[in-house]
Chains A and B, each alone.
Chain A
Amino acid sequence: MKMLINVPESVVADALRGLAAAHPELAVDVENRVIVRRDAPVAGQVGLVSGGGSGHEPLHGGFVGPGMLSAACPGEVFTSPVPDQMLRAAAAVDSGAGVLFIVKNYTGDVLNFDMAAEMAEDEGIQVAKVLVNDDVAVTDSLYTAGRRGTGATLFVEKIAGAAAAEGMPLERVQAIARQVNESSRSFGIALSACSTPAKGSPTFDLPPGELELGIGIHGEPGRERRAMMTSGEIAEAAVEAVVEDLQPRNPVLVLVNGMGATPLLELYGFNAEVHRVLAQRGVPVARVLVGNYVTSLDMAGASLTLCQVDEELLRLYDAPVKTPGLRWGV
C-alpha cells in the first residue's frame, strides 16, 4: 500500500508538525504529543481534555479551540496515548475550575485516562470523566469490553465545549456531556479495510463485492459480512440499528461521517437516503453534519450517528466554535 509518509515511525510527529504549521492558534508540543489552545487556561472555564489513538483525524486534535476542546493527546496510530500526555494537558488547561476528561470506551483509553486522573488529582487538579460508548453494533456488553466510542464523540466534545465556554461548573459540564452520550447512537459500515503505517497492508481481507456491517474505527472487522448493498439499503440497515436502540422522541442531530476514503459525493448521496428513511420513520431532524470527522485512516465506508436533543443541547450545539475541524458562528 502506497502512503504519503516518510517512515512509519514518524507519521504522528510529522502530522503534528504540519498541524502546528497550519494552525498557529494552537500550541503543539510535538515531542510530548499534546495539542493545547494557545490561550489556555481560560479563566473561570472548565478545561476539556480528550485524546486517543491517531488515525481518526480531525478527531481529536482538529477539535481543539474556542467552543470545543481545550487540549488533545494523540497516541500512536490506533493506540491510546499514555498517562504522561494527559497529565501534561490537564495541567496546561486547568484554570482552577477543573478538567473534564472525554474518554472513548476502549480498554486502553480507559486504563490510561484512569491512571492520568489519579496522577492529576495527586497534583491538586480536580478531574471528572465522561465515557463515550455510542456504537450499537456491540450488542453484548457482558462478553465484550462494552460499546465502543465512535461518532458521538464529536457531539460530546462540541456540546460540552459550549457548556464550558459559557462558564458552567465542572459537575454541570460533566452532566451535559453524559446526557449527550446517553442520547447518541452510532452504526458503521466498511467497504474496505484500512492499512496502518506499521503494517503497510490492509488489516483485514474484504473481498470485492462484500461489505462489513457494524465496524469500529480501528480497522477491526465488523460483526457481519454481507454481499454489497446499495446506498439506500445500507441507510435502511444503519437507521434501523440506531433508531431501534435509541427510540428517539425528540429531534435529532445527524452525523453522516466518512471513514476516510469515501468521497463526499457518496456521503451526500448516503445522507439523502438516511433522510428518506428517517422521514419514513417519522424522526424529525434538527441539524445535519456530513463529512470526514471521525475517520479510520484510509478505510472506505461511513458511519451514522444520531443524537436526540432538547432545547438546551441544541442551543449549545449551535453555539460558536472555532477549531481546525469544526467552525461556525465566529
Chain B
Amino acid sequence: MLDADFFRRWMTATAASVDREAERLTALDSPIGDADHGSNLQRGFTAVVTVLEEEAPGTPGGVLTLAGRRLISTVGGASGPLYGTLLRRTGKALGDAEEVSAEQLAEALRAGVDAVMTLGGAAPGDKTMIDALVPAVDALGDSFAAARTAAEEGAVATTPLQARKGRASYVGERSIGHQDPGATSSALLIAGLAEAAGE
C-alpha cells in the first residue's frame, strides 16, 4: 500500500530530476517553443517541495491536491494549469484514504490524464505531454518501472510528429524532428513515481 510519505517522495524525486534536467527541457523548448519549459517547471516543483514540508498533508490525495494547487499558482504558462490539474484531479480521485493501492493510483492517474486532455483539448499523437502520460497509465498495471519505460518511449516517439496543440503548433511542419518538451517532462514525473517505489 502507498501512504502519504510515498507521494511526498514522488514529488521530491520529480523535483530533483526536473532540477537536473532543466537545461535539457529548456533546450528542447527552444527550436519549437519559447525556451522556458525547464525554468518554469523548476520553479513550480521547488515550490511544491516547500509547501509539502510546511503543511505536511497526511493523505495521498492531500499531497497531490496541494501539489497541484501549488503548481497552478507558481508555474504559469500552459504547463501550470495542465500539470496542476493532472495532480489535483489525481489527488481528488484518491479521496481521503490514508493508504491506496497501486491499482487505485493507476485508476486515479487515468482520471487526472483525462482531465488534462479535456482542459488542453489534446489527444494522443498531437505531440504533447499526453503522448507520454497515456502509455504510462496503460503500463502502470504491470509495474512502476514499466510505466517509466512506457513514458520515456512515448516521449521519444513524439520526435517525428507534427505538433497540433500548444505553442509548438505555430511552427507547423517544422516541429517535426524535435522531441516534445512537455512529453519529456511528463516522463520525468513518471520516472519520479518509479523512483519513489524503489523500482
Contacts of A148 on B, CB cut-off 8 Å? Answer: 170
Beta-carbon contact of B79 and A108 below 8 Å? yes
Contacts of B81 on A, CB cut-off 8 Å? Answer: 108, 111-112, 115
Interface centre among B43, B77, B170 (most CB of A within 10 A): B170
- The proximity string for A residues 9-28 relative to B, scoring 1 for CB distances below 8 Å and 0 otherwise, is 00000000000000000000
Beta-carbon contact of B169 and A145 below 8 Å? yes
Contacts of A143 on B, CB cut-off 8 Å? Answer: 162, 164, 169
The CA-CA distance from A16 to B32 in the complex, in Å, is 29
| CB contact list, B1-54 vs A, under 8 A | 26, 30-36, 38-40, 43
The CA-CA distance from A106 to B165 in the complex, in Å, is 10
Chain A residue at minimum C-beta to C-beta distance from B26: A199
Instruction: Using known A-B contacts A198-B35, A204-B31, determine if residue A79 contacts B77 with beta carbons closer than 8 Å.
Output: yes
Contacts of A115 on B, CB cut-off 8 Å? Answer: 72, 81
Beta-carbon contact of B34 and A75 below 8 Å? no
The CA-CA distance from A7 to B106 in the complex, in Å, is 41
Main secondary structure of the interface of B (DSSP, over half): helix
Contacts of B31 on A, CB cut-off 8 Å? Answer: 204, 221
A313 at interface (Cβ–Cβ under 8 A)? Answer: no
Beta-carbon contact of B26 and A198 below 8 Å? yes
- The proximity string for B residues 63-106 relative to A, scoring 1 for CB distances below 8 Å and 0 otherwise, is 00000000011111111111000000000000000000000000
B88 to chain A, nearest CB (A): 11
Chain B residue at minimum C-beta to C-beta distance from A111: B81
Beta-carbon contact of B164 and A112 below 8 Å? no
A66 at interface (Cβ–Cβ under 8 A)? Answer: no
Beta-carbon contact of A112 and B76 below 8 Å? yes
The CA-CA distance from A77 to B77 in the complex, in Å, is 10
Contacts of B120 on A, CB cut-off 8 Å? Answer: 107, 111
Beta-carbon contact of B171 and A111 below 8 Å? no
The CA-CA distance from A219 to B79 in the complex, in Å, is 18
Closest 7 CB pairs of A and B: A144-B169, A108-B78, A108-B77, A111-B81, A107-B78, A218-B34, A79-B77
